[in-house]
A and B are shown apart, each in its own frame.
Chain A
Amino acid sequence: MSFEVHWEDLQNDVALNAQIRDKLNSFFGSLELPSYLNHISITDFQIGSHAPEIILHDISEPISGINPNPSGTDENDLQLLFEVKYDDDLQLELNTSLVLNYPSKEFMALPINIKVRFVSLHILCLIGIFNKGKRIVFSVLCDIEDQNDSTRRQSIGDLLKDKVGSPLERLAIIKDLSIETEIGSDASTNLSNDLQINDDDTLSELSYSSNPNGATLRNVDKLEQFLVEKLKNFLRQEVGWPSWLTFELDDESSDESDEDDSGNE
């Protein structure tokens, strides 16, 4: 059973993009950043042009153990098995800067600009609803292979990239993420573009701009791979099975009940 999402309505809603962006900004603003990062701000956010495909495969009883702190009423607990496919140009632009606080505060700063252009994922995920909707548990079970994945895999880009990770990496979650990075002060005009061949035959583009501060480095491949890998690892650790996210919806103001039990084997 698949869901129909009226994406066009969402897409045309400019206010929605702005709202999501502000929410993300306030979230990042509330984070305690390490001292070498100055700020993280989202300058642009746009939902892509196509809706994700959501297919509900199964509604069943939750598997045992997925409900932390079960509290009695088990009859109405549900478990949904979802398939989500998203293959679209979500755009997100993130600005941050690395700072050196010696000898004085913000003595040297390196601005970094990251643009996410394209996200593709196809996952099977599990959602458990407990306690009459008060607790939702979400986890990503596995990736799903499309029909055309086996051809895509042999593309030149894949051969050039480093195959990191062990074979049979159990979860990738993000199949493809296209990132553009720009390191150095944001320059508006480009005077010349230099293509440089790196040691491992990847190309990175160096643009020299009229910026008085000097060169701006764009599309550093290695950095992009590094970021994508970090993001994949992060997602895999947080929501990839057997880890999961628990959302507690409280009607009253939440009491700080301790949710993490110390592990015992």
Chain B
Amino acid sequence: MSFKFNEDVFRDNSFNEKIKEKLTSALNKGFHSDSNTNSNSNPNSNKIDLNQYDFNDTNKHTEKADILKSKIIVKSTDFPTIPKFEILDLDINTQPRSLVKGICKIIVKDAMVQLQTVIESNLLLVNMKNSPMFIKPKLIENNSLEIPIVMTFSQISLEAISNIFVKNNSLSISFNDVNLDFNFDCSIKILQNTIERRLKDSMHLLFKDVLPTVLFNMSQSWFTNNHNNSTSNNVNHIPPQLSSSTTSSGTILDKSNVKKNGKSSLPKTVFDEVDLQELSPKNMVRLSTIVSSRHTLSLHGTSGLHSMASIPGCLEKQNLYRFISRMPSLSNYYSAYRTGVTSDNNNVNNANNQMNCIDSQHYSHDNNFLPERVLREKKYDLNQIIDIQNKLYERSAADENEKPKRRTIKLNRKHKKRQENIESVRQSTPTFEKFNLPKLTDESKKSTVTVNNNKIDDEVPSPRTNVPPHMIFNENIEYFTEKDHSLLFDTPLHTNEITDPEKLPNDIIRSIDIKDIKINPKKRINSLGSGSKRISFVGINNLYNNNGWKWGNEDNTTVLPPPPYRL
């Protein structure tokens, strides 16, 4: 597919004018036109530096020979044919990171650029400005001879195929197949061949090194600048100098110089949030704790239908499918109603035995669908469905601050106009309102759809608002055998103080000082938008966090101590 260039721009002269200005300023970036280098002063050393003509080197010391006596002025440019920019192939990846790969072809034909400048043509000129007095010879003639020179590049044709990678914050281009050809005409005929040869050599380097680097840095600074300026309306405008900026999206390290970008903006390394997240030291400590506690040669993790792992709070990898099949999802909860093609197999699809046997059918799906039969037979429980969806939402909310959106659209009957409250779709949308969810109905009233209007207030929770774990899926299943359920309901959640030691179960190690036990005020699973991110095992929190041990960390997720400190 191809880009369309704005033809009007090319037809009238505005493009040429703009290009002239930009090229002129770019070519003269390193040129110091202070009084030291005007024609009156003694010119510098003997070295002839034809590399001045190379566009790459705009930074030259003032001490060295300046062949260039004036600025390089772009006299005229001409693009009679509109360049073509085609995308030959496009590949978009959103996982693991957003990455767009493309192959592009750029074609420019018959372009013309004319440069004019002044050069020093007395090659025997001696620079005695900084030499000490005792070595200065007495010269009869040491004057400079400046000659204007006009260089014309005509019939420029460029055909290049490039690979383009667009990642989060940057654009990388590599040129694979470059055909660049031009006719070079110079007003000083002696120099023509030399200049032409050297230019063609350095063009190769230009496409291989310089252009990719420059484009990369420019795109990086542009993208990160855009993150900074949320109010900038010059989105497509090349930003000014950015050497000391930081950005919300990552860390920036300044490195070395880059040329040809107007000013000497410093390239940056932008770290993604994702990169930094993976290095959390807390997680590393936890992981190493778990790993070291698991050093065992026993095989008993695979036995038993109900155990997920020998360590409470963990899930062993081989039991993952069991865990998934028991997760609260609509398809799991209503799995009895799912009829598939496999009903004629000997897969057990009875309503009662569902949870007790390993059914690979359950494992193979990954869609949270409500079976249609549930609706047809009117066996649904609205509160249950809402609850399951809430739980899944909380589980999947990656960001703690992510709140459900509550958009309001005002429909005005009189004016028949729709006014939308368009809020920014960013995650900081403050649209959460205090939301009261109905309590889960009690075991005995499970079949009726009742709505309890208990106002569940977050700050002062009533004691019996925990969902007993076995109520969540099915009466037959418990994650972990629990000795004493009453402990759950008696422990109030909002206490920050030390628990009553009598309430602790008996087999707790007594050597641990009671004062060290703290109970964190936890938000319940039922409340929406609660800030804390918990271990997303349903049931684990209720079982253990009320009298759970804090193991090394002060945040809300608790990791249980390794064996033998089991409850």
Chain A residues close to B by CB (< 8 Å): 27, 34-36, 55, 57-58, 60-61, 63-65, 68, 81, 83, 100-111, 124, 141-147, 149-151, 153, 162-164, 166-172, 182-185, 196, 198-199, 206, 211, 213-217, 220, 222-223, 225-226, 229, 237-238, 241-254, 259-265
Contacts and interface: CB of A to CB of B under 8 A. Distances in A.
B410 A248 contact: yes
A229 B92 CA distance: 12
A81 B413 contact: no
B271 interface: no
Contacts of A61: 451
Contacts of A206: 88-89
A104 B6 contact: yes
Contact of A214 (B86, B235, B378): B86
B10 to A, nearest CB: 10
B91 A222 contact: yes
Interface string B73-102: 000000000001111111111110000000
Interface in B227-272: 233, 235-238
Interface residues of B, number: 99
Nearest to B330: A142
A196 B103 CA distance: 14
B14 A104 contact: yes
B338 interface: yes
B438 A142 contact: no
Contacts of B368: 142-143, 168-172
B49 interface: no
B399 to A, nearest CB: 12
B372 interface: yes
Contacts of A36: 235-236
Interface stretch (B53-61, B158-166, B175-183, B416-424): B416-424
B365 A184 contact: no
Given A183-B1, A260-B408, A214 B6 contact: no
Contacts of A215: 1-2, 86-88
Interface of B: 1-6, 9, 14-15, 18-19, 22, 84-95, 105, 233, 235-238, 324, 327, 329-331, 338-342, 365-372, 375, 378, 380, 382-383, 385-386, 389-390, 392-393, 396, 403-415, 418-419, 421, 423, 425, 429-438, 449, 451, 453, 455, 458, 523, 527-531
B85 A83 contact: no
Given A150-B341, A242-B528, A143 B369 contact: yes
A143 B14 contact: no
Most buried by B among A60, A213, A249: A213
Nearest to A164: B95
Contacts of A243: 404-407
Contacts of A211: 2
Contacts of A145: 331, 338, 367, 369-372
Contacts of B528: 242
Contacts of A199: 91
Most buried by B among A57, A145, A151, A169: A145
B449 A108 contact: no
B90 A223 contact: yes
A241 B393 contact: yes
Contacts of B1: 110, 182-185, 214-217
B87 A184 contact: yes
A135 to B, nearest CB: 9
B90 A248 contact: no
A246 to B, nearest CB: 4
A232 to B, nearest CB: 12
A222 B6 contact: no
Which 6 pairs across A and B sit closest by C-beta, in order of nearness? A184-B1, A263-B432, A145-B369, A170-B392, A214-B2, A101-B236
A163 B367 CA distance: 11
A197 to B, nearest CB: 12
Nearest to B236: A101
Given A104-B6, A109-B6, A146 B415 contact: no
A88 to B, nearest CB: 18
A167 B367 CA distance: 7
Nearest to B237: A102
B92 A222 contact: yes
A223 B436 CA distance: 41
A220 B123 CA distance: 61
B389 A171 contact: yes
Contacts of A124: 370, 375, 385
23 contacts: A34-B235, A64-B436, A102-B238, A107-B6, A108-B5, A109-B4, A109-B6, A110-B4, A143-B370, A144-B371, A144-B375, A145-B338, A150-B341, A150-B365, A168-B324, A172-B367, A185-B4, A214-B86, A229-B94, A249-B413, A251-B413, A260-B430, A265-B530
B464 to A, nearest CB: 18
B238 A242 contact: no
A44 B342 CA distance: 43
Contacts of B404: 242-244
Contacts of B327: 168
Contacts of B329: 168, 170
A211 B2 CA distance: 10
A226 B94 CA distance: 7
B411 A250 contact: yes
A205 B407 CA distance: 40
A27 B419 CA distance: 10
Given A58-B382, A144-B370, 17 more contacts: A64-B455, A65-B437, A101-B235, A102-B238, A150-B338, A150-B342, A164-B95, A168-B324, A169-B396, A171-B389, A222-B90, A222-B92, A245-B409, A248-B409, A252-B414, A263-B430, A265-B529
A111 B396 contact: no
A113 to B, nearest CB: 10
